[in-house]
């Protein structure tokens, strides 16, 4: 793994012999405050993936002008193959390992396969309520289950559509992944009048040119465990989602899903990165040259960390949503204006803004 003048500051790597599981924490940069970033639990997460995500958090927190540095954690376990008790023990173990650095150098939060109940387990085992955000409401938390990230992704999509001169009413959208980010992006975009015509999960995709209804699809996912079991629309291969002719494509699940195998076939006018590092870095420029407006991860999906900041400050839900709206709009506008003024592609323009803020805090 490579380092540079931004980081990483610290790496913690630990092995749990009982469950045969590795855990990683990468604290990338501490210039603006304690490192902030969620914990993901996936079978494939690696130190390298966590490092890239920690860097994305450094830029995201600076771009949203929050007093947090960048960090990320990963636990390499398959939540589908372990029972509830084993998951609890693993989260407790990880929280104890991170006790020396939480919350002074690292504040955890939920990420893939980690939710508010896991944050309850984490703060209890860690010993400090301030060691994680995204906690349940009874612990003073603003759980990610309120949908702050999906809300910010939906606001970003609306702004991108307006920038391209497309009305959000009737705009077509495809969403890869139907978890926390995907579900709430669907909900808030539907409320704005957009038409979500396809989505996917680990079992495959579902496509309905007439529009998939948020409430109905959530019910299907809850009862049948997968969006592919929906009784309206047509089942499609998960990878087909990236090649649909839509106004907005929202990757909201896995890293590097827009890659050499599909980049040339992307027909969307706009990509809003709900997930982190969903586009292979080398392809951002060619996609831009194809005329696609990309709202990068660290701009579009900052709603979660803005909500974390609101929780850290003791704000309520209403104030949190206002703050997400205000900060996301400010970031997208700043990026698009800088891009127009300098000719940089939007991601580079946003990176330049974030880097200036990191320098300012040295």
Binding site for ligand NAD (CB under 6 A): 111-113, 144, 149, 176-182, 200-202, 238, 252-254, 274-276, 301, 304
CA–CA dist 124, 111 (Å, integer): 18
224 is catalytic: no
Question: 87 to each of 42, 98, 118, how far by Cα in Å?
Answer: 12, 17, 9
Tell whether omega for the bond before 103 is within 30 degrees of 0, i.e. cis: yes
Of the candidates 317, 294, 293, 297, the residue with the CA atom closest to the CA atom of residue 307: 317
**Residue 71 φ/ψ, nearest 5 degrees:** -160, 170
Give the contacts of 153 (CB within 8 A, at least 6 positions apart).
181, 184, 185, 188, 250, 252, 272, 274, 300, 301, 303
| Residue 37 C-beta: closest distance to ligand NAD, Å | 9
Please state the closest distance from residue 289 (CB atom) to ligand NAD, in A.
25
Q: Is 111 or 351 the residue whose CB approaches ligand NAD more closely?
A: 111
Q: Which is nearer to ligand NAD, 96 or 117 (CB)?
A: 117
Backbone φ, ψ for residue 151 (5° rounding)? -60, -45
- Number of C-alpha atoms within 13 angstroms, CB side, residue 160? 29
Residue 201 or 247 having the CB closest to ligand NAD: 201
**Residue placing its CB nearer to ligand NAD in the complex, 46 or 344:** 46
Cα-only R_g, the chain: 19
To ligand NAD, the closest distance from the beta carbon of 356 in angstroms equals: 23
Residue placing its CB nearer to ligand NAD in the complex, 8 or 110: 110
CB of 68 to ligand NAD, least distance (A): 13
Our CB check for ligand NAD shows the closer of 262 and 344 to be 262
Catalytic residue selected from 31, 36, 60, 72: 72
CA angle 242, 253, 193 (to 5 degrees): 70
Closest CA to 295 of 341, 253, 240, 333: 333
In DSSP terms, 39 is beta-bridged to 73, 110
Shortest separation between residue 213's beta carbon and ligand NAD, angstroms: 17
Question: Closest CB to ligand NAD belongs to which residue?
Answer: 179
Q: How far is the CB of 226 from ligand NAD (least distance, A)?
A: 8
Sequence-separated (6 or more) residues with CB below 8 Å from residue 289: none
The catalytic residue positions are: 72
């Amino acid at each position: 793994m490579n380092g540079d003048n931004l980081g990483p500051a610290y790496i913690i790597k630990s092995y749990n012999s009982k469950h045969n599981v590795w855990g990683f924490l990468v604290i990338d940069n501490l210039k603006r405050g304690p490192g902030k970033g969620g914990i993901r639990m996936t079978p494939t997460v690696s130190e390298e993936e966590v490092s890239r995500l920690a860097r994305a958090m450094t830029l995201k927190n600076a771009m949203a002008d929050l007093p947090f540095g960048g960090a990320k954690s990963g636990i390499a376990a398959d939540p589908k193959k372990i029972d509830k008790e084993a998951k609890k023990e693993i989260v407790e173990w990880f929280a104890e390992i991170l006790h020396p650095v939480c919350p002074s150098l690292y504040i955890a939060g939920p990420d893939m396969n980690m939710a508010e109940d896991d944050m309850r387990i984490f703060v209890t085992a860690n010993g400090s309520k301030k060691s994680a955000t995204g906690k349940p409401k009874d612990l003073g938390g603003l759980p990610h289950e309120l949908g702050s990230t999906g809300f910010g992704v939906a606001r970003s999509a609306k702004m991108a559509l307006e920038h391209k001169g497309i009305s959000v009413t009737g705009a077509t959208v495809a969403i890869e992944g139907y978890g926390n980010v995907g579900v709430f992006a669907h909900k808030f975009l539907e409320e704005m009048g957009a038409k979500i015509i396809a989505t996917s999960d680990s079992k495959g995709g579902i496509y309905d040119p007439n529009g998939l209804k948020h409430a109905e699809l959530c019910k299907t996912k809850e009862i049948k465990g997968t969006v592919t079991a929906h009784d309206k629309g047509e089942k499609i291969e998960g990878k087909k989602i990236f090649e649909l002719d839509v106004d907005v494509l929202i990757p909201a699940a896995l890293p590097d899903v827009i890659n050499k195998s599909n980049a040339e076939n992307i027909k969307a006018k706009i990509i809003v990165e709900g997930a982190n590092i969903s586009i292979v870095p080398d392809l951002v420029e060619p996609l831009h040259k194809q005329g696609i407006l990309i709202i990068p991860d660290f701009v579009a999906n900052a709603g979660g960390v803005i909500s974390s900041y609101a929780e850290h400050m003791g704000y309520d839900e209403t104030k949190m949503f206002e703050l997400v709206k205000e900060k996301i709009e400010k970031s997208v506008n700043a990026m698009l204006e800088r891009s127009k003024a300098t000719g940089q592609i939007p991601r580079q323009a946003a990176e330049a803004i974030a880097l200036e803020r990191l320098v300012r805090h040295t």
